[in-house]
């Protein structure tokens, strides 16, 4: 009787004597029992750069690092739905602990591909055994009885508590030539070795998930016996017949990390709801929970998160039942797992964060900034104003001009009136000043801004447009300052900027009577400099932005910063400021180069177009 047969019989006996596997409910109750300790250790986890020992001990003793381990070596060998739900439950208390738990369990699936005696040596004898690994460059050179392994790897989540480490490496022959498969592809094997052979190096300097301790490790010509290597997820090397091992580890990683996202989002929503019931913001009379906008957003987040979770868990259950019947996981089912897991992660993120108010794209030296609330006609709420200020305060140094436009049918319908609220006078003044600061970032920013206007350009939308330097209006654009009819007063700068564009009398007329101007009349009175046909505005805006982006940077700076101030100053002060700015600008090396090009007839002359 061969050693292999003896080992297989021992494995079968271990399974038969292991008793019934823990149920899903039993495992979730274990998490519930550990929940307070996991949550209490979250802050310490961030500080230590690893899951605290007390929490780690609890997870290990509850058998939660053995969920995907074969029954023959003392594992629970649970189904994918149970696995995802356990990870989700832990993530509600601490995302780092859940992440390490998911990673460690995914690695443990390797036991299903090892010889039974080796699997027992690694995982059966030591109930605290944990395997971790990460990506990185390396290689294994074949020698008698195994491989000599050299390389550097990183992001070994949970490695601070691991007893074993792994490395995925291409195999080379003794003469240095790559070992190829029958299909002519490089042979990749996973090398398993005691964690003591490769001390971890602290590289995990991050903001989130600090407790995962996803650090680095290295080997230099370390011998790894052949029996401690596997071809990861290769059916030809699979030794455990359980249905769980029909699934590649990637499918369980995807499902588990989706559980991390769902649990984290659930905890965030629960915390926010509790806060909303207690917190009354400064200047308001009622808690956030009584705000209709907050109620709507929470309802949408609940629906989004619940639908994503149901999709993931239901699909996993259906696929598991099919695999139990057929003992096969099809390619279509693998694709389905990846789809539903990725969708759950994105929806969990979306339920925990509001959509971006702006989208920013690059086109060479240009930045295209788009207002992104088309369902609200791009109405400006506090988050949008803050996003605009942050965007223009942090433009990359190589941006030379910006095109500002609105997604959907309108440029901007002004202030989001749902945010007007019942602010006291001091709070209302502060709110208006926030708008002023945001728009001043645009008007007195480092680069020219071209606004592309279409549809509604009213109230705060017109104030935003007026803070830009050039305005291109499509013929669909219309302008209004309806605040007078709504019982409020402009607060985003219209009294100053719009009055200076079209005069106090016209501004007063718009505010008192609600008068609107179309695109052509708007250009005639100074609300825009260009009018184009519907749909042509963005192209024209990009054309103009590309043109002004070729100007000398200091010249553009002078036009944006000095010209408005000169226009507002007294006659003598204005002329003096002009002289100073002209002297500064002409000393710019770029200006000198351009003048030289003109004098040597290498630059075109001005001509009528």
CA distance 74 to 61: 12
| DSSP assignment string, 560-585 | HHHHHHHHHS-HHHHHHHHHHHHHHH
Contact yes or no for 65/226 (Cβ under 8 A): no
Assign 3-state DSSP to the chain and report helix, strand, coil percentages, each to 5. Answer: 55, 15, 30
Q: Beta-carbon neighbour count of residue 517 at 10 Å? A: 22
| Strands lying side by side in the sheet with 530-532 | 358-363, 366-371, 401-406, 449-453, 470-474, 530-532
CA separation, residue 572 to residues 406, 565, 577, 578 (Å): 41, 13, 9, 10
CA distance 118 to 111: 8
The CA angle 556-557-558, to the nearest 5 degrees, is 90
Closest CA to 95 of 262, 255, 216, 254: 262
3-state secondary structure 425-474: HHHHHHHHHHHHHHHHHHHCCCCCEEEEECCEEECHHHHHHHCCCEEEEE
Helices (H), 74-214: 80-91, 95-108, 116-119
Contact yes or no for 413/453 (Cβ under 8 A): no
The CA angle 169-174-177, to the nearest 5 degrees, is 65
Closest CA to 113 of 290, 248, 6: 248
Burial of 3 (0-12, 13-18, 19+ CB in 10 A): exposed
Contact yes or no for 92/263 (Cβ under 8 A): yes
- Point out the residues that are catalytic: 463, 483
Give the H or E element holding residue 275: helix 249-278
Over its C-alpha atoms, the chain yields an Rg (Å, rounded) of 32
3-state secondary structure of 329: coil
Give the H or E element holding residue 48: helix 42-48
3-state secondary structure of 161: helix
Burial of 335 (0-12, 13-18, 19+ CB in 10 A): exposed
Q: Beta-carbon neighbour count of residue 186 at 10 Å? A: 13
Burial of 199 (0-12, 13-18, 19+ CB in 10 A): exposed
The CA angle 90-215-211, to the nearest 5 degrees, is 30
Give the H or E element holding residue 464: helix 460-466
Contact yes or no for 358/370 (Cβ under 8 A): yes
Contact yes or no for 118/89 (Cβ under 8 A): no
């Amino acid at each position: 009787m061969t050693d292999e047969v003896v080992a297989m019989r021992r494995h079968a006996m271990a399974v038969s004597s292991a008793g019934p596997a823990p149920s899903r409910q039993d495992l979730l109750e274990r998490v519930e029992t550990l929940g307070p300790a996991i949550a209490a250790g979250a802050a310490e986890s961030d500080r230590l750069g690893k899951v605290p020992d007390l929490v780690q001990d609890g997870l290990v003793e509850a058998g939660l690092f053995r969920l995907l381990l074969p029954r023959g070596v003392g594992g629970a060998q649970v189904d994918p739905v149970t696995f995802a739900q356990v990870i989700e439950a832990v993530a509600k208390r601490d995302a780092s602990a859940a992440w390490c738990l998911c990673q460690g369990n995914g690695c443990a699936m390797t036991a299903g591909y090892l010889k039974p005696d080796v699997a027992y040596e690694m995982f059966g004898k030591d109930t605290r055994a944990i395997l971790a690994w990460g990506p990185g460059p390396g290689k294994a050179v074949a020698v008698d009885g195994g491989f000599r392994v050299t390389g550097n790897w990183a992001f070994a989540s949970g490695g601070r508590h691991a007893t074993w480490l792994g490395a995925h490496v291409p195999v080379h022959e003794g003469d240095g030539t790559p070992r190829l498969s029958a299909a002519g592809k490089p042979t990749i094997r996973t090398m398993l070795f005691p964690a003591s052979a490769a001390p971890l190096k602290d590289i995990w300097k991050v903001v989130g998930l600090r407790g995962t301790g996803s650090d680095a490790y290295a080997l230099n010509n370390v011998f790894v016996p052949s029996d401690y290597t596997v071809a990861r997820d290769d059916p030809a090397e699979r030794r455990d017949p359980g249905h769980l091992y029909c699934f590649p580890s990637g499918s369980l990683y995807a499902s588990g990390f989706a559980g991390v996202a769902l649990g984290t989002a659930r905890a965030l929503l629960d915390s926010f709801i509790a806060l909303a019931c207690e917190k009354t913001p400064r200047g308001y009379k009622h808690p956030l929970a009584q705000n209709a906008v907050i109620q709507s957003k929470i309802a949408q987040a609940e629906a989004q998160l619940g639908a994503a979770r149901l999709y993931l868990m239901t699909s996993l259950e259906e696929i598991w039942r099919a695999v139990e019947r057929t003992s096969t996981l099809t390619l279509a089912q693998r694709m389905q797992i990846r789809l539903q897991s990725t969708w759950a992660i994105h929806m969990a993120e979306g339920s925990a964060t509001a959509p971006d108010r702006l989208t920013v794209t690059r086109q060479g030296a240009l930045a295209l900034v788009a207002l992104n609330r088309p369902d609200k006609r791009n109405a400006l709420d506090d988050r949008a104003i803050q996003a605009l200020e942050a965007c223009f305060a942090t433009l990359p140094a190589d941006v030379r001009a910006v095109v500002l436009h609105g997604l959907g049918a309108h440029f901007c319908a002004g202030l989001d009136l749902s945010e007007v609220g019942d602010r006291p006078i001091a709070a209302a003044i502060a709110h208006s000043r926030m708008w002023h600061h945001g728009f001043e970032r645009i008007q007195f920013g480092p680069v020219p801004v071209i606004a592309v206007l279409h549809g509604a350009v009213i109230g705060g939308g017109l104030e935003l447009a007026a803070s830009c330097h050039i305005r291109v209006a499509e013929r669909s654009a219309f302008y209004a300052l309806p605040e007078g009819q709504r019982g409020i007063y402009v607060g985003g700068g219209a009294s100053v900027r719009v009055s200076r564009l079209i005069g106090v009398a016209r501004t007063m007329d718009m505010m008192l009577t609600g008068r609107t101007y179309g695109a052509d009349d708007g250009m005639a009175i100074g609300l825009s400099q260009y009018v184009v046909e519907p749909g042509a505005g963005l192209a024209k805006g990009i054309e103009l932005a590309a043109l002004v982006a070729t100007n000398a940077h200091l010249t553009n700076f002078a036009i944006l910063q000095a010209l408005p101030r000169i226009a507002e100053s007294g006659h003598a002060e204005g002329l003096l400021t002009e002289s100073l700015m002209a002297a500064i600008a002409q000393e710019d090396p770029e200006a000198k180069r351009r003048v030289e090009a003109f004098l040597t007839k290498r630059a075109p002359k001005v001509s009528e177009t």
